């Protein structure tokens, strides 16, 4: 249990105090760190649990927003407590996770929780960069064997010049935002959104970020040296023995036949699993033999089995039942253990060793033979097909397929009333979203059954990436006052569904007639890296290359530059040189993909889809707004009732937006408003209806549309 006295370390970081503290809060946890910059404070707590029986590293990174941090109470009338994490909280949690995960030993089987809680937030300093700093420091204090941190994070904004650690207001107006995690030499995580950022500009931002990361990492190291944590945790690692990996190496020829065959994903998976299952089934048979108790001990059985001459050996697992097992494979497995008891752990070792060896042969073939699992060249994309207008009544639709990855993208056009109202911790004023992307990934897309529920962290993350990739090319809301909702349905997946979603978004928007300025495409770049630093970058990676490779680097953009980036790193850091090569290759691939997309549709259709709502705009003089609305809204309600439209009038500007499913009705409502606000001058001749006469004059109704010359 962590019981250090309170300790504190601070530096001046770009004109503000950056502070790390420990010892006062969360004393029963494995470790905890309080980090502050300005008036923004986060608490990162690490708890190391016992061994988990899962077949993966059970790391959880959770980012908890607290409304009190920004002096807010949740807006719902019926629910004031924070509920499920906001999308922003999910995305920030994923960013911290991706900054840390590659630095852990992947064979750890202890449950490890990293929980970051935002305690205070000012309107200057975002808490996300601070969260990485606090989480990394807390993990280092936990003394988890196999963790090779520390890691820090920094944001660089571009607004005519590069700005380090920009404020909220600077972020809002910047042309590009780059978030980079690393230690100053190696890069663990990158996220970026930009308005056609050039590769050279991005490389300059990365170089500046690395300079800043050295400062932040040194700050962490000084603090860790000051604390000198004495925490001791027992870590369980299931890294397979070399002998277990060597067992799989004996079947290299067989593995290469199935891994590098021209078959589809599912067929290749079944073939690989068949090889693995044979060995695992033999272990089960040996455990059953031991349970039967016919042999005095393990060595007795091993000696007996070695005397069997047939390639297929019959062994009894009960008095009535026997099973035939392969002699050569069984003898090799028996060499891996010294007792029947060791067999119970051998299955998991074989599983892990199998994964290690598949990675080994894929990397070896790429680095030595320049050979990929599907026979492509290292810089070659998969076959791409594009279709638009695939659904009848929807406003816009497309089907984008790249290899075995298939995404159906559907656009719905709504009114401003369909915009999403955000009520998050970091929203200091009312914020609405008029462009929304939702991403769905059902289990059947990978040929499996499984839990089918609401969107998880991955779905939210992929949707957000596809969303920000398109933002720079969307029409300005003042000229195109619609809400746009895109949904990507992943119908088949063999890698890069998020990038297929970006491509599909461009196609659907153009199919619907939305006037986007340019087409956006995306591609995922991979990496194979050996211990000597030799590497090869792979273009358009598929699932096997993603799982067994060292990087998933997603890059989206137009012919003019980059619009979004997301880097998932599988090793303990990448060099800037690797990223520069990957960016250049990604540009080549992006231009190729755009050329194929342009064959399906190369510009938005001239008219908006006929099923989309019609919108008319008119600027009402502020002094006339009350006349259009009328007493208790009587006038505007009458217009809405007669025309079946929706009308919104902006309080600040007087601009009126008229929405209707019928174009003619929208025009009718527009004319009615024009009639109300029309200013008549002496000498104008109009048609008028006299409906009342008085001694002092006449009351007339004038139709503004009937003005006579």
With a cut of 60, say whether residue 61 has pLDDT above it. yes
Asked if the domains at 7-227 and 384-600 fall in one CATH topology, the answer is yes
pLDDT value, residue 578:
95
What is the share, in percent, of the chain residues with pLDDT greater than 70? 98
With a cut of 60, say whether residue 2 has pLDDT above it. no
Buried b (16+ CB within 10 A) or exposed e, 67-96: bebbebeeeeeeeeeeeebbbbbbbbbbbb
Task: Please report the beta strands in 416-544, taking only residues with DSSP state E, as ranges in sequence order.
Answer: 420-422, 431-433, 435-440, 483-492, 521-529, 535-539
DSSP count for the chain of H helices, then E strands = 17, 28
Q: How many CA atoms lie within 13 A of 297 on its CB side?
A: 4
Contact 627, 585 (CB under 8 A): no
> Bridge-partner residues for 261, per DSSP?
none
With a cut of 60, say whether residue 3 has pLDDT above it. no
Backbone CA torsion sign across 7, 13, 15, 18? negative
With a cut of 50, say whether residue 634 has pLDDT above it. yes
pLDDT value, residue 24:
92
CA distance 20 to 665: 62
Residue 4 has a CB neighbour count (10 Å cut-off) of 17
Contact 127, 43 (CB under 8 A): no
For the chain, what is the mean pLDDT?
92
Nearest to 565 by CA among 486, 439, 465, 498: 465
CA distance 550 to 533: 12
CA distance 239 to 353: 8
CA distance 268 to 259: 7
With a cut of 80, say whether residue 583 has pLDDT above it. yes
Q: Can you list the alpha helix ranges (DSSP code H) found in 416-491?
A: 457-470
Tokens of 163: 């700005």
Residue 190 has a CB neighbour count (10 Å cut-off) of 24
With a cut of 90, say whether residue 691 has pLDDT above it. no
**CATH match of 384-600 with 1.20.1630.10:** no
pLDDT value, residue 63:
97
Entry field: residues in the chain: 709
Q: How confident is the model at residue 656 (pLDDT cuts 50, 70, 90)?
A: very high
Task: Please report the beta strands in 295-404, taking only residues with DSSP state E, as ranges in sequence order.
Answer: 312-316, 322-326, 384-388, 396-402
With a cut of 50, say whether residue 696 has pLDDT above it. yes
Tokens of 48: 């190391």
Q: How confident is the model at residue 373 (pLDDT cuts 50, 70, 90)?
A: very high
7-227, which class in CATH? alpha beta
pLDDT value, residue 572:
85
Mean pLDDT value across residues 275-292: 89
**DSSP characters over 569-589:** E-SS-B-HHHHHHHHHHHHHH
Q: How confident is the model at residue 40 (pLDDT cuts 50, 70, 90)?
A: very high
Nearest to 20 by CA among 167, 103, 130: 130
CA distance 655 to 622: 9
With a cut of 80, say whether residue 296 has pLDDT above it. no
CA distance 374 to 264: 9
Mean pLDDT value across residues 250-261: 85
Mean pLDDT value across residues 642-649: 92
Nearest to 181 by CA among 139, 135, 225: 135
With a cut of 90, say whether residue 377 has pLDDT above it. yes
With a cut of 60, say whether residue 1 has pLDDT above it. no
Cα–Cα distance list, 32 to 23, 433, 483, 585 (Å): 7, 36, 43, 42
CA distance 433 to 423: 11
> Which is more confident, 706 or 166?
166
pLDDT value, residue 709:
43
Mean pLDDT value across residues 589-595: 98
Backbone CA torsion sign across 407, 412, 413, 418? negative
Q: Is 192 exposed, middle or buried (0-12, 13-18, 19+ CB in 10 A)?
A: buried
pLDDT digits (tens, 9 = 90+) for 443-477: 999 999 988 888 999 999 999 999 999 999 999 99
The β-bridge relationship of strands 435-440 and 483-492 is parallel
Q: How confident is the model at residue 263 (pLDDT cuts 50, 70, 90)?
A: confident
Residues 6+ apart with CB under 8 A from 36: 17, 18, 19, 21, 120, 130
Q: How confident is the model at residue 679 (pLDDT cuts 50, 70, 90)?
A: confident
Mean pLDDT value across residues 624-634: 91
Q: How confident is the model at residue 97 (pLDDT cuts 50, 70, 90)?
A: very high
Residue 278 has a CB neighbour count (10 Å cut-off) of 13
Cα–Cα distance list, 439 to 314, 337, 387, 392, 415 (Å): 52, 47, 19, 21, 21
Q: Which of 47-56, 146-155, 324-333, 549-558 has the lowest mean pLDDT?
A: 47-56
Mean pLDDT value across residues 52-71: 92
pLDDT digits (tens, 9 = 90+) for 477-499: 989 999 999 999 999 999 999 99
pLDDT value, residue 703:
65
pLDDT digits (tens, 9 = 90+) for 384-442: 999 999 999 999 999 999 999 999 999 999 998 899 988 888 888 888 999 999 999 99
| CATH number of the domain located at residue range(s) 614-708 in this protein | 3.30.1370.10
pLDDT digits (tens, 9 = 90+) for 112-161: 999 999 999 999 999 999 999 999 999 999 999 999 989 999 999 999 89
Q: Which of 156-170, 250-264, 466-480, 646-660 has the lowest mean pLDDT?
A: 250-264
The domain locations on the chain are 7-227, 242-353, 384-600, 614-708
Q: Which of 73-77, 180-184, 323-327, 393-397 has the lowest mean pLDDT?
A: 73-77
Contact 343, 333 (CB under 8 A): no
pLDDT value, residue 79:
85
pLDDT value, residue 708:
45
pLDDT value, residue 5:
66
The β-bridge relationship of strands 187-197 and 7-13 is unpaired
Residues 6+ apart with CB under 8 A from 618: 655, 656, 658, 670, 673, 674
With a cut of 60, say whether residue 706 has pLDDT above it. no
């Amino acid at each position: 249990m962590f019981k250090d006295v309170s300790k504190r370390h601070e530096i001046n970081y770009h004109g503000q105090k950056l502070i790390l503290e420990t010892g006062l809060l969360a004393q029963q946890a494995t470790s905890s760190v309080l980090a502050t910059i300005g008036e923004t404070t986060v608490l990162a707590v690490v708890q190391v649990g016992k061994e988990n029986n899962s077949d993966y590293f059970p790391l959880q990174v959770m980012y908890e927003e607290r409304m009190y941090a920004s002096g807010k109470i949740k807006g719902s009338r019926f629910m004031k407590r924070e509920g499920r994490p906001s999308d922003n909280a999910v995305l920030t949690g994923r960013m911290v996770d991706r900054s840390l995960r590659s630095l852990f030993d992947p064979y750890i089987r202890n449950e490890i929780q990293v929980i970051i809680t935002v305690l205070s937030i000012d309107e200057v300093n975002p808490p996300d960069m601070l969260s990485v700093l606090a989480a990394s420091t807390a993990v280092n204090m936990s003394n988890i064997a196999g963790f090779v941190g520390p890691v820090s994070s920094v944001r660089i904004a571009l607004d005519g010049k590069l700005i380090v650690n920009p404020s909220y207001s600077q972020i809002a107006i910047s042309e590009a935002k780059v978030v980079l995690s690393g230690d100053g030499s190696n890069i663990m995580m990158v996220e970026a959104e930009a308005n056609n950022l050039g590769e050279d500009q991005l490389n300059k931002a990365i170089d500046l970020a690395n300079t800043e990361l050295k400062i932040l990492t040194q700050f962490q190291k000084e603090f860790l040296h000051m604390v000198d944590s004495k925490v001791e945790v027992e870590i369980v690692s299931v890294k397979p023995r070399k002998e277990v990996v060597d067992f799989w190496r004996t079947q290299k020829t067989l593995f290469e036949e199935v891994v590098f065959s021209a078959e589809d994903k599912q067929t290749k998976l079944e073939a690989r699993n068949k090889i693995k299952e044979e060995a695992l089934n033999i272990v089960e048979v040996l455990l059953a033999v031991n349970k039967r108790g016919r042999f005095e001990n393990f060595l007795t059985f091993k000696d007996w089995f070695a005397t069997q001459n047939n390639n297929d050996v019959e062994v009894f697992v009960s008095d009535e039942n026997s099973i035939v097992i392969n002699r050569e494979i069984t003898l090799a497995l028996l060499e891996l253990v010294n007792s029947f008891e060791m067999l119970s752990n051998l299955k998991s070792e074989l599983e892990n060793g199998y994964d290690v060896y598949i990675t080994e042969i894929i990397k070896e073939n790429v680095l030595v033979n320049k050979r990929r699992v599907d026979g492509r060249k290292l810089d070659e994309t998969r076959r791409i097909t594009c279709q638009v207008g695939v659904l009848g009544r929807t406003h816009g639709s497309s089907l984008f397929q790249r290899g075995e990855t298939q995404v159906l993208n559907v656009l719905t056009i709504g009114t401003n009333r369909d915009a999403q109202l955000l009520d998050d911790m970091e929203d200091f004023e009312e914020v609405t979203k008029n462009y929304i992307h939702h991403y769905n990934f059902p289990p059947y897309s990978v040929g499996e059954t499984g839990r089918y529920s609401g969107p998880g962290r991955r779905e939210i993350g992929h949707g957000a990436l596809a969303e920000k990739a398109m933002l720079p090319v969307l029409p300005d809301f003042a000229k195109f006052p619609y809400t746009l909702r895109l949904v990507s349905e992943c119908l088949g997946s063999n890698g890069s569904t998020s990038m297929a979603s970006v491509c599909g978004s461009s196609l659907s928007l153009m199919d619907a007639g939305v006037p986007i300025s340019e087409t956006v495409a995306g591609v995922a770049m991979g990496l194979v890296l050996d211990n000597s630093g030799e590497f090869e970058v792979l273009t358009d990676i598929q699932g096997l290359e993603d799982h067994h490779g060292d990087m998933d680097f997603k890059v989206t953009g137009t012919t003019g530059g980059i619009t979004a980036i997301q880097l998932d790193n599988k090793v303990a850091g990448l060099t800037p040189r690797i990223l520069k090569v990957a960016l250049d290759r990604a540009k080549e691939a992006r231009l190729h993909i755009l050329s194929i997309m342009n064959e399906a549709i190369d510009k938005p259709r001239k008219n908006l889809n006929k099923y989309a709502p019609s919108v008319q705009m008119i600027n009402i003089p502020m002094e006339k707004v009350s006349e259009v609305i009328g007493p208790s809204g009587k006038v505007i309600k009458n217009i809405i009732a007669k025309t079946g439209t929706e009308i919104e009038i902006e309080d600040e500007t007087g601009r009126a937006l008229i929405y209707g499913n019928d174009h003619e009705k929208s025009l009718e409502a527009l004319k009615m408003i024009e009639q109300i606000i029309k200013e008549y001058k002496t000498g104008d001749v109009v048609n008028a209806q006299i409906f009342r006469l008085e001694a002092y004059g006449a009351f007339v109704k004038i139709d503004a549309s009937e003005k006579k010359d």
